[in-house]
Structure 1
């Protein structure tokens, strides 16, 4: 039996843009019975329902509505998933223009890739300038009866998807990268209907613009779903007024995402780093392989307080965790975290770097950082040290003098960040423990740099 598709379109007060997308679907080069369309209205107060239902005679279309309680795109999409009668869900945002071969290409993709998700190529994604000459050019075509003609224009190459550099890097198989889920922008994506149900639909705790789609993608990824692009599954996004400005809720929703998944990939997403997840995650995984594990010569009692709440950052072995007797432990790698969790059942153990902490100021009495700080790029090191200084009363840094770092994807910081000072609190053999101080003036002369040797100030 041939696979069939449910096209799910969330919408809010955008009837003109909705009609563009629906007109594209009227011109598909497949039997109209091969797909259905569900328009999921997120509380529109205009004539959106009338516009949607005006396509009843041309499409197998259903309209559903939820009250306006803020921007709830994920909840709207869930209405569509629950109503879907077909094997494949294709999520298309209002106003996205798709080609006449869209349904056929989606069916062909899922025939070849089972339990997989397709991330469609969306020309003009993240374009905000509605006065751009290319936007005006495509808008003229899009108001016609055949807006899909936009996708045949050679001008499309000058209006790329914002993710195109990553697509070029990995090709169609996005699983070669470290975070394919972070590309799962629901302006144009697909997934099997049964799989969407298995992972629990979109999280309806996201209210306002942002991150409900990649959080859903993250759960798909953890569920074993594979991610691909397909050159034939592409669309065009043209800027139009948004009901919820991205800046208004993006930060709040990102924090909610991290509260659900206290794990390294999501932690790195919280930071405004100048490099993407596909670079920073391999960097960290490669770097920790070069670091000491056990710190057998360490005498914590020589510099640590007898009691108090302790955070251990960069723990790579159960032996180190036991030696420090930490209450909370940040480890890199799921398997490493599992081993430490088994050895230290009373501690909170998480697979993350420890650069973002949702707790309050001075939540810990002590934070202890292994040599992991020495592999961090400058921006990440600065973020981590400032955050640890916020959440802990004292911060100690380990430094193994014999540590030699090989080549890493991103160069580690050549020295401590400006304003950071270190004072020796304990030394034995190869290992020195420093106490961290954060100052707002320039970094003092003589502070050891990260890779070895002395900073000149």
Structure 2
């Protein structure tokens, strides 16, 4: 539902002396780093273990309903909460949220509609988060059952990584949220399909694929990549909330679609964060 308009890639008044922070002199070898910390006996210290799942949204109540249903079906002993962050929707999303108050630890926060303010509403959700680890999940990214468990298992071992989850495109137009609630395996059983709603895809036969999959394969899930922030898409990511104190929050000057997640990822990598892809098996 975002406004679409043509913008200049580099504004004419862009300051010529403005430069990005330098990047680390190493590749994104999270395996070496993890083993090094283990050999030195360095373990993360967490005060409030759990995952705060931030779901930014603007309208799209039916899709949000399905995503929340899939979160109800999570198999994990870890605590988690859901924060629905509303960017001034005209649809009544509170009604959807209230359906899940007895099934999830769920909160609803809303800001006025000032146009496309994705970064601002992400920050609003992040400020509301109560746990040490946070995830940003698009409202149309319905997770499989072990999603919370797999993310927290990795983050508790190493809080200096950011986890990136790939996408699988499926068709849910003729399926209700109640069907997902009643069948926890339904979301995983749906076949991949084609979509023309996302510019960040590639095609293979009659299905659409996450464009990043090819790069993940070439770089051993970004381990051998020297610029992993390029693949940091905030539709499905998780990291320690401590990193917000180190690099700052999402830049709210971004008020049109695109670029804000890569810029945030750049700051994470520049400050020493490692990026790891979570495969579908995880």
TM-score where L is the length of structure 1: 0.46
**Post-superposition shift, 1:29?**
0.9
Runs ≥4 residues deviating over 4 A: none
CA apart distance, 1:159: 4.5
Query: Partner residue of 1:149?
Result: 185
SS of 2:257's partner is: coil
For 2:55, the equivalent position in structure 1 comes to 9
User: More helix per residue: 1 or 2?
Assistant: 1
Supply the distance in 2 between the matched residues of 1:140 and 1:171 (Cα, whole angstroms). 37
Matching residue within 254, 257, 261 for 1:206: 254
Partner Cα distance (1:155, 1:113) in 2: 33
Q: Residue 228 of structure 1 aligns to a residue in which SS?
A: strand
Q: List aligned pairs for 1:300-339, cutoff 5 A.
A: none
Alpha carbons 1:39, 1:63 under 8 Å: kept: yes
Alignment equivalent of 2:102, drawn from 57, 75, 83: 57
Query: Which of 154, 157, 161 is 1:112 aligned to?
Result: 157
1:7 to partner: Cα distance: 0.2
Q: Deviations over 1:205-236 (max 9, x none)?
A: 111211111111111111110000111488xx
Superposed displacement of residue 113, structure 1: 2.6
Q: 2:71 and 2:165 mapped to 1: Cα distance?
A: 16
Q: What is the rounded CA distance, in whole Å, between the counterparts of 1:164 and 1:140 in structure 2?
A: 28
What is the CA-CA distance between 1:114 and the residue it aligns to? 2.2
Separation (CA, whole Å) in 2 of partners of 1:192 and 1:71: 26
Give structure 2 stretches of 5+ with no counterpart: 1-45, 194-206
Superposition map of 1:173-212 within 5 A: 174-212=222-260
Contact persistence 1:141–1:150 (CA under 8 A): no
- Match for 1:72 among 113, 117, 127? 117
Does residue 140 of structure 1 match 2:174? yes
Query: Is contact 1:102–1:232 with CA below 8 Å preserved after alignment?
Result: no
For residues 218 and 148 of structure 1, what CA distance do their matches in structure 2 show? 36
Post-superposition shift, 1:24? 0.7
Number of residue pairs the alignment of both structures matches: 221
Cα RMSD (Å) of the superposition? 2.2
Structure 2: distance between partners of 1:70 and 1:160? 30
- Structure 1 stretches lacking a partner, 5+ long: 125-134, 235-457
Contact preservation (8 Å) 2:159, 2:239: no
Report the equivalent of 2:212.
163
Q: Deviations over 1:33-87 (max 9, x none)?
A: 7101111000011211221232111111111111101111111111111111111
Report if aligned partners of 1:120, 1:233 keep a CA contact under 8 Å in 2: no
Distance (whole Å) between structure 2 residues aligned to residue 233 and residue 224 of structure 1: 27
Listed one character per residue, the Cα deviations across residues 63-119 of structure 1 (whole Å, up to 9, x for unaligned) are 111110111111111111111111111110012110111110111111233211011
Q: Does 1:103 align with 2:139?
A: no
